[in-house]
Amino acid sequence: MKKVVSHLVYLFVCVWIVSFALPPALTAQTNGVPQQISALQARMTEAETRLTATESRLTLTESRLSAAETQVSALTTQNTNQILRIVDLEAQTVPVGTIIAYSGEVPPAGYLECDGSEVGRADYPSLFAAIGTTFGQGDGFSTFRIPETRGVFLRGWSHGNGWDPDRASRVTIYPGGAFGDHVGSWQDHMFANHSHTTTFSFFNILGPYQATVGANGVGSYGVAGSATGGNETRPRNVSVMYAVKY
């Protein structure tokens, strides 16, 4: 009987705890949870809003960057076209292969000094197309010679008019270059064939004595004068740099 009463009392106490004591405690502990959840949800919503705004700004930035790249590409194409037009206009105004007399010691842009250099055919394709191996063949397959005009005068091509009587004997400066009556051929210095007549004013029963001397070999009469002159026969001149357009 005492055991039954004890069990009933224990059961009564458990029921009372479950029914009256436990719910208020649980309620007190869980009263703040909804507010915390609501705060977290609000913060997440705010973060999502900020993220959306950031994504929008990023998209706008990417759009602007793409537009800038398009503009740069268009400007690059435009500049390239302008450069090609300038090159074309220069080619029309000053043909490739033109030789100019320049008053400086460094050739201007687009020109090479006419110093007979051996240059690459692939490096100067337009110039090679214009003059070829006129001034020398270079190595015969990958290079060619540009004109050599240092220290010499230029002469117009006779082209069959007869004003260059020794045109057939003109030679090439460098191997593989032009010779004969062609542009790019070379002649060394020479005096024209001539003679000199000297008249001595002294009495001779046979008449005035004359001696003829000159380059034609006649006149070996022992008549000699004083040497005069310099190292070459030349007109007044001014040095310039000859440069070829490439």
- Using DSSP's 3-state secondary structure scheme, residue 87 falls into helix
Of 35-49, 126-140, 231-245, least confident by mean pLDDT is 35-49
Q: Are 132 and 144 in contact (CB under 8 A)?
A: yes
The model's confidence at residue 15, banded by pLDDT at 50, 70 and 90, is low
| 153-181 residue pLDDT tens | 999 999 989 999 999 999 999 999 999 99
Q: Which residue ranges make up each domain of the chain? A: 36-93, 98-190+241-246
CB 183 within 8 A of CB 134: yes
Strands 99-102 and 111-113: unpaired
Higher pLDDT, 166 or 43: 166
Q: Is 205 helix (H, G, I), strand (E, B) or coil?
A: coil
For 44-92, the pLDDT digits (tens) are 888 888 888 888 888 888 889 888 888 898 888 888 888 888 877 776 7
The tens digit of pLDDT for each residue in 179-232 reads 999 999 999 988 888 887 766 555 555 555 555 555 444 444 455 667 888 898
Rounded distance, CA 214 to CA 60, Å? Answer: 94
